[in-house]
Structure formats: C-alpha cells, structure tokens
C-alpha cells in the first residue's frame, strides 16, 4: 500500500490550517449591563415601548458594511456584529433612552399593561465612508396611548467621525456615538409629548 497520497493530504491539511486567517472580531453597539443595587419597584412608572428599529435590508446583517463610493458597499473581513444590526441598534437606543429618561421604564417588548407612549424609529441610512464620516438618517414617531395619530413625528440626521483611522473598533465607536446622538433627539421628542 502506498502511503504517499495519504501523507500528501495530511501535509496539505496541516498547511491550510496554519495559514488560515484569524477569526473576525465580534462587536456590539451596547455596553455590558451594569448591576442594579437591590430590587427597584417599577409599578406606577410610565412605560415607554421602543418598537424594533427598522434598517435598510442591506444593513440588517451581521456584516459590518461600509459605503465605498456612491453605490458600492464593502464588508469588513476582520469584524462582524454579534447580532443583526437592527437588534443591536434597538438595544443600544433603549439603553441610551433609559439613561436620558430615568423616570420612565423603557421596554423593547410588549408588557402586560398599556405603555404611555410608543416609539417607532426607521433608519433610512447608516453609512460609514472611507474618509471617516459616519452619517445616520432616521425618522422617529412618538405615539400616545390611543395609537390613532402620531403625537410627534420627526426626521433628522446625525454625523460622527471615525477617530484615529478606519479600524474596526473606531468604526464601531463612531456608529455607537451616532446612535447616542439619535437618542438625544428621540428623548427630546418623547419628553415634549408628556
């Protein structure tokens, strides 16, 4: 029996294993949860429900997508999201709103009682460009408890800059900062609908 083909296959497999690229780094938009000291009663507090944020289909992936020109997109080969982008934005925005509106209970799933207000956010564009610009364009609607008409509807954009060069971590930081700025606008609109 000739062992040469078997040895050749093993050597090729070994070489391929040694030359493979490292696994992509995985990022999320929200910080880790901080522990709450004790138990906090939430009964009697107003509930604000943030519906799942919608994003364009080409962005709603675990790929970190960058805009490279007018109509071209590139995907990072060295990084990815830990969840679909729409879920990550919803979680990050909910956390940012909770920080800005400490008197409200912010939820992202329906609760047993009617929320005082409902927030709907539609991301129209969320692009990072080769020059480091990060542009987020969104529309947000704040509805009252009757849901028949929007209490407040606004559209706007925020811009941040990728700091220190276009590394994956810097791109994620710029996108996180853009969501943080969006939370300022949404919280202001929600506060005006009391």
Give dist(CA 108, CA 93) in Å, integer.
10
Asked whether residue 33 is assigned to any structural domain, the reply reads no
Domain holding 175: CATH number?
3.40.50.10610
Mean pLDDT of 23-28: 92
Asked whether residue 111 is assigned to any structural domain, the reply reads yes
Asked whether residue 26 is assigned to any structural domain, the reply reads no
Instruction: Rounding to the nearest 10 degrees, give the CA dihedral for residues 84, 87, 93, 96.
Output: -90
Asked whether residue 182 is assigned to any structural domain, the reply reads yes
Give dist(CA 163, CA 32) in Å, integer.
22
Give residue 2's pLDDT: 60
Q: Structurally, how many domains does the chain consist of?
A: 1
Give dist(CA 119, CA 152) in Å, integer.
10
Residue 185 · residue 141 · CB < 8 Å: no
Asked whether residue 178 is assigned to any structural domain, the reply reads yes
Q: Which domain holds residue 129?
A: 44-191
Give dist(CA 6, CA 4) in Å, integer.
6
Q: Give the residue from 107, 126, 103, 102 showing the smallest Cα distance to 118.
A: 107
Give dist(CA 169, CA 151) in Å, integer.
38
Give dist(CA 176, CA 170) in Å, integer.
10
Sign (positive/negative) of CA torsion 120, 124, 130, 131? negative
Q: Give the residue from 130, 133, 122, 132 showing the smallest Cα distance to 182.
A: 122
The model's pLDDT over 102-138, given as tens digits with 9 standing for 90+, comes to 888 899 988 777 778 899 999 999 999 999 999 999 9
The model's pLDDT over 73-95, given as tens digits with 9 standing for 90+, comes to 999 999 999 999 999 999 999 99
Give the chain's mean pLDDT: 86
**Local structure of 103: helix, strand or coil:** coil
Per-residue CA distances from 133 to 120, 141, 148 (Å): 26, 26, 38
Asked whether residue 102 is assigned to any structural domain, the reply reads yes
**Local structure of 14: helix, strand or coil:** helix
Q: Is the pLDDT of residue 13 over 60?
A: no
Residue 44 class from Cβ within 10 Å (0-12 exposed, 13-18 middle, 19+ buried)? exposed
Rounded to an integer, what is the distance from CA 123 to the centroid of its chain?
10
Asked whether residue 137 is assigned to any structural domain, the reply reads yes
Residue 2 · residue 9 · CB < 8 Å: no
Asked whether residue 89 is assigned to any structural domain, the reply reads yes
């Amino acid at each position: 029996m000739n062992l040469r083909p078997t040895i050749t296959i093993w050597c090729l497999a070994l070489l391929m294993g040694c030359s493979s690229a490292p696994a992509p780094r995985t990022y999320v938009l929200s910080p880790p949860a901080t522990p709450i000291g004790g138990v906090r009663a939430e009964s009697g507090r107003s509930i604000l429900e943030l519906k799942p944020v919608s994003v364009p289909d080409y962005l709603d992936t675990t790929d970190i997508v960058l805009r490279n020109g007018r109509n071209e997109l590139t995907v990072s080969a060295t990084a990815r999201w830990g969840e679909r982008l729409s879920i990550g934005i919803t979680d990050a925005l909910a956390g940012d709103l909770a920080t800005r509106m400490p008197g409200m209970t912010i939820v992202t799933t329906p609760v047993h009682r009617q929320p005082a207000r409902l927030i709907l956010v539609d991301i129209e564009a969320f692009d990072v460009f080769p020059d480091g610009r990060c542009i987020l364009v969104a529309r947000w609607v704040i509805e009252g408890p009757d849901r028949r008409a929007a209490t407040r509807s606004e559209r706007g954009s925020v811009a941040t800059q990728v700091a220190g060069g276009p590394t994956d971590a810097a791109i994620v930081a710029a996108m996180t900062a853009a969501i943080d700025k969006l939370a300022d606008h949404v919280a202001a609109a929600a506060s005006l609908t009391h």
